[in-house]
Structure 1
Amino acid sequence: MTQVLVCSNSEQRRREWRLALEAHACWRAVETASLNEALAVARQLPLHCAVLDQAVLDAARLPEFGCAVVVCGPDGGETAWKAALDAGAQDYYVNGGDARGLVSAVEKAAYRHEQHCALGDAAPHLIWTWRTDGTVDCVNRRWREFTGMSLEQAQQGQHWKLLRRADRHAAQTAYAAALESGQPFEMQCRIRPKEGRGWRWLQVQCVPVTDGAGRIARWLGTATDVDSLKRSELAMRASAGRFRRLFDENPLGIALEDENGCFLSVNAALCRMLGYQVEELLGRSFRGLTRHESPGIRALVRRDGTLVWTRIHEEEGNGQGQRFTLVEDITAHKAGEEERRLLVTVLENTPDFVGLARMDGSVFYVNRAGCRLVGLAGPEEAVRLSIEEYGYPDDLRLYREEIMPAVKRGEVWQGEIRFRHQATGEPIPMEMRAFAIFDERGRRIGFANVSRDIRERKAIESALQASERQHRMLIQTLPQMVWMTRSDGACDYLSPQWLEYTGVPEAAQWGNGWAQTLHPEDRERTVQSWTESVATGARYDIEYRLRRHDGVYRWFKARAVRLTDEHGRVARWIGVCTDIHDQKSVENALRRSNAELEQFAYVASHDLQEPLRNATIYAQLLERRCGASLDAEAREYLDNVVRSSQRMRQLVDDLLTYSRLSADCGSSVADPRAAVEVAIENLQELVRETGAAIQCGPMPAVQANQSQLAAVFQNLLSNSLKYARPGTPPVVRVEAAATEGVCTFSVRDNGQGFEPRYAEKIFGIFKRLHGASVPGTGIGLAIVKNIVERHGGTAWAEGEPGAGATIYFTLPVA
């Protein structure tokens, strides 16, 4: 049954209204005496309409009824009717009128209310109202369907939970501010709909509703679903921002051109690329900046006149003849293309195996040398194999457990591994270097394998090992003692012969321990000499005494040379010690014998010269006293005695000189030119007598005894002057030429010369070719040869009869 509420503080009026409504409309009327009581009933019962006495009317609370309202009053004028409508009533009834008029007023009010509610429910928007205390008192069907809440839940404030946390505080703040200020507000917020599929944007508008007195009676709120629009707006805003950032921050140069190709806008990358400011480029065009052009490629002129190679891509703009042009700087790319071409050329021509594989082991590149090495026809066959199929089966464990884990850790693996020849199956020893390769983003995309065929090296190593074994066997069979040291001179190897001789453990002689086996008198100079050789790299050559295991010292000659690496730096020293004790004994005996011989020669020459001197004196006395009484024959005999005595005396002097040459010559740095000058000074009387011309060219310093070198030149010059051709002044030319550490001297004259078959004979002692016609003893050239050979040189002669002679000899350059 339809229920109608009647409220009046007049019991009679309540009764009249109730009877009229029940009699004419069969409605059930509920009586209340006050507005509060009426509102309490309205909250409990579904009411068709509420009939309120104007005496109890409170316009501010009228919306709380939630149904149609008819106001009853004594005044039937337009003013009273308008005031009732402004208060929120749907109709006005004049008290005391026809009962049917009240029923009609209720029916009109109910109809208007139902129409209003239907209109709100039919609206696509969310609509609600709330009282001035903030309590929601009405929501439309769209609100309930969207939120999934009832009016009662909304009145309990649960609708705030529907707002996203980030928007909730702003909405509650705006709501509270509107209630306090009475000003409408509008905002956008996100609400989770009943389906719970994410958040949706709503456009919320709230306006106050006033009564006839201008007081806020309630608030009306509407919310429009603008999620698609909002998201499109956000997307467009983000897109515009991204486009602007893309335009401004893009590493590619970008230009917006008009229909004539003139720049309307340019980004910073294009300005940097061309070296211009933005203002300088606006209005210009690519046509005016292009130096060279090919399909898609242009060489643009920078502001400084240099060229920048670019790749051009054009896109249509807004359909008004405008277009976007993307400009990519490929200057480095063009250089990189050349570098890549050179790199590929290098890879394809390197003798090493170069392979590239993905991390799963599939091969995607092997160079030509690599294909040939493992017996493949070409790259097509190479990429059909996995990386494991390249390896020798016995080495797969090394590949899986060491190489690949190291590559995955980003390390470089280097070592030896064997490859498998795909045709013969034979193992190929390789020295491999494997490392990861990355793309431009730093992602590991595979690994590289650079390997070198070391079969030849392995063969060399095997040969070296065999050679080393042979050398060790040879060292063990040598009579000499062999030793080796590090580059700093510390001993680290002693041959078995050394250890056997000294009887001292090897470890005790390492480093400088070997010096303890030297004779105390030789130790200091030996260690000092060795230290100097190590410091300067000079050859080590010394003699010292070394203690044998039985305490006996024997003389040894030690020599050592340095072994250098490929950079010329000393890597090791190797030395040998030769037992020269017996040789030393013989040399000492020979030295004593030579001393005795020299003493004998001196005594013999003294004893021989004394009777010769007496014979000469007495012959001269005889000539002085008896010369006048002697006939010519007797005088000739006497002259022969004197000449023979003098020649015999000269012969004894030359023999003494020759015998003394066996003594140590004591060579040092000698000046040949000074020696020639001394010889000329000693022969100056003979030079004057013969009218000789002696010429001397440049000569380097040599290793010789200065006085003995002067004796050599004096004997040679003397021969050239004595053997001059009759009637021809002698001309002698002394010259020298140094080659590979040896100086060759020549003494050339224009004298009588000799037969070539006598070239060796003339160097013999007492060997003369011209008899007594030329003064001399025949020892001069023998002395020259002896001196030269004792200095490590040689002497020889060349000549032709009547064409002069040339004597040659060599000496080491100082």
Structure 2
Amino acid sequence: MSNIASQETTNSEAAVYQSQIASLNELLRVQEQIIVRQTGKLERMVGRLHNRVSQLKIAEEKLQKYAAELEQANNEVKEFAYIVSHDLRAPLINLKGFTVELRSSLNTVKEAWDAAAGASDSQRQQAGEALTKDIPEAMEFINSSATRMDRLIEAVLKLSRLGRQELVLEKIDMEEIVRGVLKNLGHQIEQHQAVATVKSLPEVVADRTCIEQMMGNILTNAVNYLEPGRPGLIEIGGERQDGNVTIYIRDNGRGIDSRDMPKVFAPFRRAGKQDVPGEGMGMAYVQKIVRRHGGQIRCESVLGTGTTFTITLPEVQTQEQGAEHAKSA
């Protein structure tokens, strides 16, 4: 009997132990489920945090980009204001000076007129010179200064309009644009005994009118500044690289002195010998167009050897992105 009782006790204890183990297993299972759920929540939180950090990093990079563009724009505005005020002031000073000279000549005429009856030969000669030489000369200088001011103001207005006009983005065949510009420059190219070579050019997404003006200005300069007495060579090519389209215009013209390089894109500034008509606004227009499309332009040149302009534009951009670039330009 004692053995049977002992066996029953052992079985009872085993059952208790099994029950306890089962309870512990169930507790462990429940805890494991809780841990799994909490781990999932934590992973999702970490994922959201990572996404938020990535968004903040992108926002910070955009902010830094906009800050750099704003600083550049502010610097350009200061430089532009100085240049415009300086260049507009010069004709005004001329107008003022020639107005004084005109008044002096009129006084000479008045004095001779008042003393007409008894005027001496010297007075009549002075009056004659005032009427036939001094006054017409002063009026011509006044007219010339006023015309100069009108051209400067028109150039400023054109640059302003260029910065405000809406861009209409479309796929553009750059080879077609370039060949069209070269066709219009055919007579000048022939006069310079130049050869223009058009290599492979990728399509761009841009405003057609702006791109035509951009290439027209650069290629016109390339032709106008070829070295006399040396057969001119102009090469236009491009490629796609890292999500951008790069276009280059290379010539073997007179080149630009390194000291004149800061003038290349500055409004109303011209580099080198001033033997080509113009206001010095062509490349300022080009730079404005490139920046409005979210691109960049750089100039490399060696005096006496030639110049290369390189333009980089985004390969693909939406109308909204184009509008954003236009606002920040």
After superposition, the Cα gap between the structure-2 partners of 1:731 and 1:417, relative to the gap in structure 1 and judged at 3 Å, is same
Alignment of 1:359-438 (within 5 A): 396-397=21-22
Whether the 8 Å CA contact 1:742–1:813 is kept in 2: the answer is: yes
Greater fraction of residues in strand: 1
| 1:590-626 Cα distance to aligned partner (Å, 9 max, x none) | xxxxxxxxxxxxxxxxxxxxxxxxxxxxxxxxxxxxx
Match of 1:784 among 265, 283, 286: 286
> Which residue identity lines up with residue 290 of structure 2 in the other structure?
V
* 1:793 maps to 2:292: no
Match of 1:464 among 43, 53, 78: 43
- SS in structure 2 of the partner of residue 745 of structure 1: strand
- SS in structure 2 of the partner of residue 772 of structure 1: coil
* 1:762 maps to 2:280: no
Q: What is the aligned partner in structure 2 of residue 736 from structure 1?
A: 238
| 1:740-773 Cα distance to aligned partner (Å, 9 max, x none) | 3210111111011123454343101011112532
Matches of 1:461 and 1:757, distance apart in 2: 64
* 1:677 maps to 2:256: no
Q: What is the aligned partner in structure 1 of residue 312 from structure 2?
A: 810
- SS in structure 2 of the partner of residue 732 of structure 1: strand
After superposition, the Cα gap between the structure-2 partners of 1:416 and 1:774, relative to the gap in structure 1 and judged at 3 Å, is farther
Alignment of 1:213-252 (within 5 A): none
User: 1:812 Cα deviation (Å)?
Assistant: 2.0
Whether the 8 Å CA contact 1:715–1:781 is kept in 2: the answer is: yes
Question: What is the percentage of aligned positions where both structures have the same residue?
Answer: 27
Matches of 2:308 and 2:238, distance apart in 1: 13
User: 1:688 Cα deviation (Å)?
Assistant: 2.5
User: 1:781 Cα deviation (Å)?
Assistant: 0.5
User: 1:736 Cα deviation (Å)?
Assistant: 0.8
User: 1:396 Cα deviation (Å)?
Assistant: 3.7
TM-score by length of 1: 0.23
Structure with bigger gyration radius = 1
User: 1:704 Cα deviation (Å)?
Assistant: 0.6
Q: What is the aligned partner in structure 2 of residue 604 from structure 1?
A: none
* 1:773 maps to 2:275: yes
Q: What is the aligned partner in structure 1 of residue 93 from structure 2?
A: none
User: 1:792 Cα deviation (Å)?
Assistant: 1.0
Whether the 8 Å CA contact 1:795–1:807 is kept in 2: the answer is: yes
Q: What is the aligned partner in structure 2 of residue 658 from structure 1?
A: 159
- SS in structure 2 of the partner of residue 759 of structure 1: helix
Whether the 8 Å CA contact 1:741–1:813 is kept in 2: the answer is: yes
> Which residue identity lines up with residue 661 of structure 1 in the other structure?
L
Q: What is the aligned partner in structure 1 of residue 206 from structure 2?
A: 704
Alignment of 1:127-146 (within 5 A): none
Matches of 2:281 and 2:142, distance apart in 1: 22
Matches of 2:284 and 2:236, distance apart in 1: 20
Of structures 1 and 2, the one scoring higher in RCO (CA 8 A, sep 6+) is 2
Matches of 2:303 and 2:167, distance apart in 1: 35
Say what the alpha-carbon RMSD is for the aligned residues: 4.4
Matches of 2:19 and 2:248, distance apart in 1: 75
> Which residue identity lines up with residue 209 of structure 2 in the other structure?
S
> Which residue identity lines up with residue 213 of structure 2 in the other structure?
A
- SS in structure 1 of the partner of residue 176 of structure 2: helix
| 1:404-429 Cα distance to aligned partner (Å, 9 max, x none) | xxxxxxxxxxx9689xxxxxxxxxx6
Matches of 1:676 and 1:639, distance apart in 2: 41
* 1:727 maps to 2:306: no
Matches of 2:310 and 2:246, distance apart in 1: 7
Whether the 8 Å CA contact 1:675–1:707 is kept in 2: the answer is: no
- SS in structure 1 of the partner of residue 312 of structure 2: strand
Matches of 1:398 and 1:770, distance apart in 2: 94
After superposition, the Cα gap between the structure-2 partners of 1:467 and 1:667, relative to the gap in structure 1 and judged at 3 Å, is same
Unaligned runs of 5+ in 1: 1-392, 402-414, 419-428, 432-454, 479-629
After superposition, the Cα gap between the structure-2 partners of 1:810 and 1:398, relative to the gap in structure 1 and judged at 3 Å, is farther
| 1:196-217 Cα distance to aligned partner (Å, 9 max, x none) | xxxxxxxxxxxxxxxxxxxxxx
After superposition, the Cα gap between the structure-2 partners of 1:720 and 1:638, relative to the gap in structure 1 and judged at 3 Å, is farther
Matches of 1:691 and 1:642, distance apart in 2: 38
| Matched pairs, number | 217
After superposition, the Cα gap between the structure-2 partners of 1:649 and 1:751, relative to the gap in structure 1 and judged at 3 Å, is farther
Greater fraction of residues in helix: 2
Whether the 8 Å CA contact 1:737–1:744 is kept in 2: the answer is: yes
Whether the 8 Å CA contact 1:700–1:813 is kept in 2: the answer is: no
Matches of 1:795 and 1:658, distance apart in 2: 17
> Which residue identity lines up with residue 721 of structure 1 in the other structure?
V
* 1:718 maps to 2:220: yes
Whether the 8 Å CA contact 1:722–1:775 is kept in 2: the answer is: no
Whether the 8 Å CA contact 2:300–2:307 is kept in 1: the answer is: yes
* 1:689 maps to 2:191: yes
| 1:181-207 Cα distance to aligned partner (Å, 9 max, x none) | xxxxxxxxxxxxxxxxxxxxxxxxxxx
Alignment of 1:7-22 (within 5 A): none
- SS in structure 2 of the partner of residue 703 of structure 1: strand
Q: What is the aligned partner in structure 2 of residue 7 from structure 1?
A: none
> Which residue identity lines up with residue 162 of structure 2 in the other structure?
L
Alignment of 1:269-668 (within 5 A): 396-397=21-22, 461=40, 463-464=42-43, 467=46, 651=152, 654-662=155-163, 663-668=165-170
Whether the 8 Å CA contact 2:246–2:310 is kept in 1: the answer is: yes
Matches of 1:676 and 1:637, distance apart in 2: 46
Whether the 8 Å CA contact 2:256–2:272 is kept in 1: the answer is: no
After superposition, the Cα gap between the structure-2 partners of 1:466 and 1:651, relative to the gap in structure 1 and judged at 3 Å, is closer
User: 1:793 Cα deviation (Å)?
Assistant: 0.7
Whether the 8 Å CA contact 1:756–1:798 is kept in 2: the answer is: no
Could you tell which deviates more after superposition, 644-653 or 742-751?
Answer: 644-653
- SS in structure 2 of the partner of residue 773 of structure 1: coil
Whether the 8 Å CA contact 2:192–2:228 is kept in 1: the answer is: no
- SS in structure 1 of the partner of residue 166 of structure 2: coil
